[in-house]
Amino acid sequence: MILGDTEIEDTFAEAFGMRATRVLVTADTARWARIAGETATGFATSVIACGAEAGIERELGADETPDGRPGVALLFFAVSRDALAKALRDRVGQCVLTCPGAACYAGLDEGEPLPLGRTLCYFGDGHQRAKRLDGRRFWRIPVMDGEFLCEDTVGQRKAVGGGNFLILGVEGRSVLAAAERAVDAMRAVPGVIMPFPGGIVRSGSKIGSRYKGLVASTNDAYCPTLKGVVATALPDEVDAVLEIVVDGLDEAAVRAAMAAGIRAACARAPGEAPVVRISAGNYGGKLGAFQFHLRELLR
């Protein structure tokens, strides 16, 4: 399959099941809502070392939030309900509770609820107060600029983590431009995040390592500097590879985001070197239960 000037490899991205939740963070201004969201979702690129994967799903207008203020929708993913509950408690407690003027609300109602305000309320040292509004319970926690309002619990659901594709090109600048286009297109798809810096990964990994205790190591088959040293997966002309990883609330969201991203990556600008090939992280069915076949996504 050829898309523009780019070969779409006959392979699949292998993804795995996760648990996910969405929270809505608001503040007095859009700037401070985004600061709270960016801080709460920092250091959350991979569950391998970060405990959770998280990102800003989208910005919210004042007409889309419970308190009529600007905000952001955040998605959090983890490998289990308990891991998700801990990550949410720690990140909201350290990064949203501390942010001037911020409040936090549930963005999902389904599934077994995760505790949030009911765990953070103890910071009020006995001065916290519970409030019910339209059947939902909130906590008012006194802080130095007034009160932190936080929903008692948030919903959570099964989700999909680790959807991905690889962009192979002849030089780094054009590959990065293609990856940036892909991320921009994918961010328009609801229910997904690209958790790595700017949505892009340069340090793609393989399962295992020659060093004891490491569960993952550099994907040497896709490292251009290792051609001739390892069994490379790269054509001779390829000198740069970048990966995009996507987490979604369901398979359909991941499929839609991957398709949009691949099409955008292949639509090169005038004067830009072409993307040689689109590939994906295929681990032979050993990593997860979900397989996203690249050619099927684009039909």
Residue ranges of domains in the chain: 2-14+159-298, 19-157
* pTM of the complete model: 0.95
CA atoms within 13 A on the CB side of 172: 4
Residues 82 and 76 sit within 8 Å (Cβ to Cβ): no
What pLDDT digit, counting tens, does each position of 54-75 carry? 999 999 999 999 999 999 999 9
Antiparallel, parallel or unpaired: β 12-26 and 71-78: antiparallel
pLDDT digits (tens, 9 = 90+) for 154-180: 999 999 999 999 999 999 999 999 999
**pLDDT mean over 278-282:** 93
Note the CATH number of domain 2-14+159-298: 3.30.70.520
Per-residue pLDDT at 113: 95
Place of tokens 């600008």: 269
Work out the pLDDT band at 282, boundaries 50, 70, 90.
confident
Residue 286's pLDDT is 72
pLDDT tens-digit profile of 204-230? Answer: 998 889 999 898 899 999 999 999 999
Classify the phi-psi angles of 297: left when phi > 0, otherwise alpha if psi is within -120 to 50, otherwise beta. alpha
Q: Do domains 2-14+159-298 and 19-157 have the same CATH topology?
A: yes
Say whether pLDDT at 288 is over 90. no
So what CATH class is 19-157? alpha beta
| Average pLDDT of the segment spanning 15-36 | 98
Half-sphere exposure of 262 toward its Cβ, with a 13 Å CA cutoff? 33
